[in-house]
């Protein structure tokens, strides 16, 4: 019955003994990890780095007051 329901909504039932317990969710996870890895490997733009330095300086000044 469960196999029929899964097949009816477009999902394929997981084979018994499958090594991938997450099924299609594993592919989503792999894509998200790939996207995240690409994102964090990008260089920070100079303007953004400058704004971060200015923020750190402003916070340091504020703590001293």
pLDDT(12) > 60 = no
Q: 30-64, pLDDT tens digit by residue?
A: 999 999 999 888 888 899 999 999 999 999 999 88
Contact 13, 6 (CB under 8 A): yes
Count of domains for the chain: 1
What number is the average pLDDT over the span 6-24?
A: 58
Confidence (pLDDT) at 35: 94
Residues 6+ apart with CB under 8 A from 7: 13
State the residue range of the domain holding 31. 2-14+22-64
In order of 1, 27, 42, 45, the CA distances from 34 in angstroms are: 36, 11, 13, 21
């Amino acid at each position: 019955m469960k196999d029929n329901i899964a097949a009816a909504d477009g999902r394929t039932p997981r084979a018994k003994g499958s090594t991938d317990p997450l099924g299609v969710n594993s592919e989503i996870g792999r894509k998200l990890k790939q996207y995240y890895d690409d994102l964090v490997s990008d260089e920070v733009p100079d303007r953004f780095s400058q704004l971060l330095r200015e923020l750190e300086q402003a916070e340091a000044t504020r703590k001293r007051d």
